[in-house]
Amino acid sequence: GENVEQHPSTLSVQEGDSAVIKCTYSDSASNYFPWYKQELGKRPQLIIDIRSNVGEKKDQRIAVTLNKTAKHFSLHITETQPEDSAVYFCAASPSGGSNYKLTFGKGTLLTVNP
Amino acid sequence: EAQVTQNPRYLITVTGKKLTVTCSQNMNHEYMSWYRQDPGLGLRQIYYSMNVEVTDKGDVPEGYKVSRKEKRNFPLILESPSPNQTSLYFCASSPGTGLLSYEQYFGPGTRLTVT
């Protein structure tokens, strides 16, 4: 089955700096890669996702890049703010419309220091 | 309000006593799923359902059962709970069609303790 490795497990940055979280996956059939943000005591929420036919996607301060050859994808957050502090999870799925099996990484605790 | 609800939100039980955690969504989503979240292990998928009467195993299905008799409900059943099933459980649903088909909407979570 799919295996998703996520690094680092913890990340501390100063407000205004950039943060990068990296994930690798094992199943070459995976073609959908979402990122979820979970604030303390709350439910995970989707912040951005990318499909395998796209190499990069950006939404304001957040961007995701995908390298299918190397089987890795990354989350980039620019101009970090204290409210970006949370646990971030990457995930991979072979969802091609017929399968919704989703495998998550173990998460990265991001702390943005004011 | 569009939402996924779970009940109960907190549950303390004893080993071997059967329990059910309910999950309901009012968004007419085709896809539903159950996850458990444990410190240092992230979110792990237990079971998922593509539609009514269609379910499949995730990565950690042992000790759990599910059913999907109605589109809106997807209960999680622990026939004989054990302490290693102490965890935070999330139900999620997804549209299943269209451009936004893959976004998962999570419920508020159920914190289960098995003693």
Confidence of residue A87 (pLDDT cuts 50, 70, 90): very high
Per CB-CB distance under 8 Å, the chain B contacts of A93 are 102
Q: What residue of B is the nearest CA neighbor of A95?
A: B102
Q: Quick one: A36 exposed, middle or buried, by C-beta within 10 A (0-12, 13-18, 19+)?
A: buried
Comparing B74 with A97, the larger pLDDT belongs to B74
Distance (Å, whole) CA A61 – CA B16 = 48
Residue-averaged pLDDT of chain B: 93
By the 8 A CB rule, do B35 and B46 touch? yes
- pLDDT tens-digit profile of A14-48? 999 999 999 999 999 898 899 999 999 999 999 99
Return the pLDDT at B92.
Answer: 96
Return the pLDDT at A97.
Answer: 47
Contact yes or no for B42 and A89 at CB 8 A: yes
Going by C-alpha positions, the residue among B35, B49, B16 that lies closest to residue B88 is B35
Mean pLDDT value across residues B80-85: 97
- Those residues of chain A whose CB sits closer than 8 Å to some CB in chain B are 1, 6, 32, 34, 36, 43-46, 49, 89, 91, 93, 95, 97, 100-107
Distance (Å, whole) CA A64 – CA A32 = 12
Comparing B51 with A80, the larger pLDDT belongs to A80
Return the pLDDT at A51.
Answer: 87
Q: With 90 as the cut, is the pLDDT of residue B103 above it?
A: no
Distance (Å, whole) CA A106 – CA B84 = 18
Q: With 60 as the cut, is the pLDDT of residue A98 above it?
A: no
- Those residues of chain B whose CB sits closer than 8 Å to some CB in chain A are 31, 33, 35, 40-45, 48, 50, 56, 58-59, 90, 94, 96, 101-104, 106-109
Return the pLDDT at B95.
Answer: 86
Distance (Å, whole) CA A11 – CA A71 = 22
- pLDDT tens-digit profile of B13-50? 999 999 999 999 999 998 999 999 999 999 999 999 98
Return the pLDDT at A95.
Answer: 63
Paired strand residues for A112: A13
Return the pLDDT at A58.
Answer: 96
Burial A2-19 (b: 16+ CB within 10 A, else e): bebebeeeebebeeeeeb
My answer on whether omega of the bond before B61 falls inside 30° of 0, hence cis, is: no
Q: What percent of chain B has pLDDT over 70?
A: 96
By the 8 A CB rule, do B82 and B15 touch? yes
| Cα–Cα–Cα angle for A33, A34, A40, rounded to 5 degrees | 145
The enclosing H or E element of B58 equals none
- pLDDT tens-digit profile of A51-85? 888 889 999 999 999 999 999 999 999 999 999 99
Distance (Å, whole) CA A17 – CA B3 = 35
Mean pLDDT value across residues B81-94: 97
Return the pLDDT at A64.
Answer: 97
My answer on whether omega of the bond before B8 falls inside 30° of 0, hence cis, is: yes
Mean pLDDT value across residues B50-77: 95
Cross-chain CB nearest to B48 (options A44, A101, A107): A101
